[in-house]
Amino acid sequence: MTSKRRTNDEIFSEILKLCVKGTNKTRIIYQANLNSVVVKSHLDNLMKNGFIESVRDGSRIVYKTTSRGLELKGMFEKLQTEMSDLYACA
């Protein structure tokens, strides 16, 4: 049995999906199956480039996908669908 490591693209796509309705860092860690160091790095990168934003909700911080992030999420989904179709034909 071989293990397949996810690419950064796949991880970014997963984080963008999780943040559409807003979520906290702990939920991202568990649902995306990542550790806190990796999540922090990816969240910082996505925020720096304007794909997600952090919003204070009382005492917690919630991460939300921006409109720019939604566009990127759509592109990732389209690419993943095309790649799946391509591999299915091989």
Q: Could you state, in order of their start, the residue ranges of all structural domains in the chain? A: 8-89
Taking only the tens place, the pLDDT of each residue in 61-77 is 999 999 999 999 999 99
Domain at 8-89: CATH architecture: Orthogonal Bundle (1.10)
Looking at this protein, which amino acid is placed at residue 34? Answer: L
The confidence score (pLDDT) of residue 3 equals 62
**Three-state DSSP state, 23:** strand
Taking only the tens place, the pLDDT of each residue in 1-44 is 556 788 999 999 999 999 999 999 999 999 999 999 999 999 99
